[in-house]
């Protein structure tokens, strides 16, 4: 069976995807028994696509013409953003094409309506690549862990932020130099504010919470603090407790609802999330039956992210993807709309330092009560089996 694909957007991840589809076509056929020919690359600018040596005949700038091609079965949306990308996904679904995307901002914002649109047409939207790049966590949570009530998950899901915090902590680089270095590595969003403000992590946390808990949370309601709240003396204070500060996206099922946040948090070594350095992602999941699980790997980059894209492609073609046709409660249109519990009610544990006090971990007071004492306050994260 031939699953003709069209790529919309041929930047870093698009290039990696084109590279696998064209360069590994024989191996993919051998592993799956199916063909995934790349029939079209739609883009505004073909400089990057041409540099990859793609066959000129597949550079087809007219989206409508490509969508009218019956040989195209799947549209891979890698344009990014929430404007043109939304139109692409809507038009692809209306033209009867399945969609695979890495676009966390798009799905966190419009996931419900796009999934409903796909479901009404018996089509699938694959989004494994949207959360934590190469790490196979979306399908794992949605399908493989279905025997579990997920009690909590926490992740470093933005490589740019982890790279900045690592450099600020270990090489003494200041924030601006560390951000510049991360941008040069090619992992940052087109607008790096989305990374450093925690917004990108909030998009991913909203999607991961859907597949983990079957809840749909408006990402704008997730309490958010970005790297701007971290000072070098905070990193040094954490080090005195043999701990590290990480931008942590966290969701927990607690009495009365779900506590969620994206914020710089203190994690003690040897917790694997504390030890995770550089532009990597790591996620812990607490399952009622499995106990604590830990996933780690490359959360960004051309080939690692393309690996997840091609995995989605093969899964939907094989019919094994937990597609929108199935009634699992984890898909955005089926998940239960939920508001996270108020951040202000959390009673820790907190890592505190400053105002002449040695760093310590406290539990009981609220953040506001501690801040009123002039202390620097961060959540302390130490998952236990």
Q: Please list the active-site residues.
A: 204
- Closest separation in Å from C-beta 160 to ligand HSE: 3
Distance CA(376)–CA(353), nearest Å, equals 5
The answer to whether 188 contacts ligand HSE (rule: CB under 6 A) is yes
User: Restricting to residues 196-235, which ones interact with ligand HSE according to CB under 6 A?
Assistant: 200
Distance CA(308)–CA(135), nearest Å, equals 8
Q: Of 140, 98, 89, nearest to 123 (Cα)?
A: 98
Stretch that binds ligand HSE, among 49-57, 118-126, 182-190, 306-314 (CB under 6 A): 182-190
The answer to whether 78 contacts ligand HSE (rule: CB under 6 A) is no
- Closest separation in Å from C-beta 188 to ligand HSE: 5
The tally of CA atoms less than 13 A away on the side-chain side of residue 17 is 37
Specify burial of residue 336 (Cβ count, 10 A radius: 0-12, 13-18, 19+): exposed
Q: How many residues bind ligand HSE (CB under 6 A)?
A: 11
Q: Where are the beta strands (DSSP E) in the chain?
A: 4-8, 38-42, 72-77, 98-101, 125-126, 150-156, 215-216, 243-254, 257-268, 280-287, 291-298, 336-337, 350-354, 357-362, 376-379
Judged by CB under 6 A, the residue of 126, 226, 299, 383 near ligand HSE is 299
Tokens of 41: 């690359």
Angle at 186 between CA 315 and CA 155, to 5 degrees: 60
The answer to whether 195 contacts ligand HSE (rule: CB under 6 A) is yes
The answer to whether 276 contacts ligand HSE (rule: CB under 6 A) is no
Stretch that binds ligand HSE, among 64-72, 185-193, 318-326, 328-336 (CB under 6 A): 185-193
Q: What phi, psi does 277 have (nearest 5°)?
A: -115, 155
Judged by CB under 6 A, the residue of 189, 234, 252, 263 near ligand HSE is 189
Angle at 210 between CA 204 and CA 214, to 5 degrees: 165
User: Restricting to residues 145-164, which ones interact with ligand HSE according to CB under 6 A?
Assistant: 158-160
Torsion angle defined by CA atoms of residues 19, 23, 28 and 30, in that order, rounded to the nearest 10 degrees: -170
Longest dimension (CA), the chain: 70
Distance CA(268)–CA(47), nearest Å, equals 46
- Closest separation in Å from C-beta 247 to ligand HSE: 10
End-to-end CA gap in the chain: 45
Which is nearer to ligand HSE, 176 or 363 (by Cβ)? 176
User: Restricting to residues 127-146, which ones interact with ligand HSE according to CB under 6 A?
Assistant: 133
The answer to whether 300 contacts ligand HSE (rule: CB under 6 A) is yes
Three-state secondary-structure class, residue 280: strand
Q: How far is CA 244 from CA 89, 137, 382, 383, in A?
A: 40, 24, 12, 15
The residues of the shown chain that bind ligand HSE, judged by CB under 6 A, are 133, 158-160, 187-189, 195, 200, 299-300
């Amino acid at each position: 069976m031939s699953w003709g694909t069209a790529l919309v957007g041929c930047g870093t991840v698009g290039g990696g995807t084109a590279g696998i589809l064209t360069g590994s076509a024989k191996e993919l056929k051998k592993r799956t028994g199916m063909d995934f020919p790349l029939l079209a690359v739609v883009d505004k600018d073909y400089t990057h696509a041409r540099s990859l040596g793609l066959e000129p005949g597949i550079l087809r700038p007219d989206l409508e013409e490509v969508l009218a091609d019956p040989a195209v079965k799947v549209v891979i949306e890698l344009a990014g953003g929430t404007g043109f990308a939304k139109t692409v996904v809507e038009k692809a679904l209306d033209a009867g094409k399945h969609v695979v995307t890495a676009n966390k901002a798009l799905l966190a914002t419009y996931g419900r309506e796009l999934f409903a649109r796909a479901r009404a047409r018996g089509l699938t939207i694959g989004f494994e690549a949207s959360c934590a790049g190469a790490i196979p966590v979306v399908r794992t949570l949605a399908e493989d862990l279905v025997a579990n009530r997920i009690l909590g998950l926490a992740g470093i899901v933005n490589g740019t932020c982890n790279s900045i915090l690592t450099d600020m902590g270990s090489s003494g680089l200041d924030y601006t130099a560390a951000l510049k270095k991360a941008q040069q590595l090619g992992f940052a969003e087109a607008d790096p504010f989305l990374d450093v403000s925690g917004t990108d992590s909030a998009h991913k946390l909203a999607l991961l919470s859907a597949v983990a808990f079957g809840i749909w949370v408006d990402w704008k309601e997730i309490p958010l603090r970005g790297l701007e709240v971290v000072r070098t003396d905070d990193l040094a204070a954490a080090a005195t407790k043999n701990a590290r500060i990480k931008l942590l996206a966290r969701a927990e099922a607690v009495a009365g609802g779900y506590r969620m946040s994206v914020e710089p948090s203190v994690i003690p070594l040897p917790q694997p999330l504390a030890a995770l350095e550089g532009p990597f992602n790591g996620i812990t999941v607490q399952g009622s039956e499995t106990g604590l699980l830990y996933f780690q790997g490359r959360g960004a980059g051309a080939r690692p992210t393309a690996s997840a894209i091609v995995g989605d492609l093969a899964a939907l073609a094989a019919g094994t993807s937990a597609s929108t046709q199935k009634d699992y409660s984890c898909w955005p249109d089926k998940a239960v709309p939920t508001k996270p519990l108020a951040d202000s009610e959390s009673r820790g544990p907190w890592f505190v330092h400053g105002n002449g006090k040695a760093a310590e971990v406290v539990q009981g007071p609220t953040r506001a009560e501690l801040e009123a004492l002039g202390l620097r306050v961060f959540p302390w994260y130490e998952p236990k089996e």
